[in-house]
Amino acid sequence: MEKLDIVLYPEQGLREVCKPVKEMTDQIDKLIDDMFYTMYDAPGIGLAAPQIAVQERIIVVDVSESKDQPIALINPEIIRTAGKITWEEGCLSLPGIYGKVNRPSDIIVKGMNRDGKMVEIEAHDLLAVCLQHEIDHLNGKMFIDHLSGLKRTRALQQFRKLMNEEQS
């Protein structure tokens, strides 16, 4: 397995709409292994392919404490939403930045698993938040886009400052 480099904001690839995967291949299966490895190592609870510079519709998540409930989805689609939840989100592509985002609390996501089988996943609370955060990435969207103008500006200022401090 290989640890992949995580792309940081403001890389253009994080703002692009990713292409659907046409069919499950050994190459994608290997990529999913590397994505899980990279996500657990970070550590993070989710990772989307554009974060490792692959512009394809692939996500991995594991929100369990024990880190033993991996979910990989190809071409994921949200087919139902209900409820509301506010969660303080972070992103491996904006390290050190956090912000409260409102989203539906209950969702059903349809997609292909790594065996190439179509599945539907019912998700609540943190798993629902994380799946929506990852699916947003596939559409070129980041959690800061859900913040109000002022909060978003402040978050981005803070991120630029953090990145500059790291350089000096």
Which residues in this chain contact ligand GNR in the complex, by CB under 6 A? 44-48, 51, 87, 89-93, 129-130, 133-134, 137
Q: 52 touches which of Ni ion, ligand GNR, none (CB within 5 to 8 A by kind)?
A: none
The residues, any chain, with a CB within 8 Å of residue 134's CB and separated by 6 or more, are 46, 47, 48, 59, 60, 61, 76
Using the minimum distance from each CB to ligand GNR, give the nearer residue, 18 or 45.
45
- Residue numbers of the site for Ni ion (CB under 5 A)? 91
Q: Which whole-number Å values give the CA distances from 44 to 33, 91, 107, in the listed order?
A: 15, 8, 21
| Residues 51-80 as b or e (16 or more Cβ within 10 Å = b) | bbebebbbbbbbbeeeeeeebbbbbbebee
Candidates 23, 134, 165, 166; catalytic one: 134
Using the minimum distance from each CB to ligand GNR, give the nearer residue, 99 or 112.
99
Distance in Å, CB of 168 to ligand GNR, minimum: 25
Structure tokens at 151: 């909060």
The answer to whether 65 is a known catalytic residue is no
Distance in Å, CB of 23 to Ni ion, minimum: 26
Give the catalytic positions in this structure.
Answer: 134
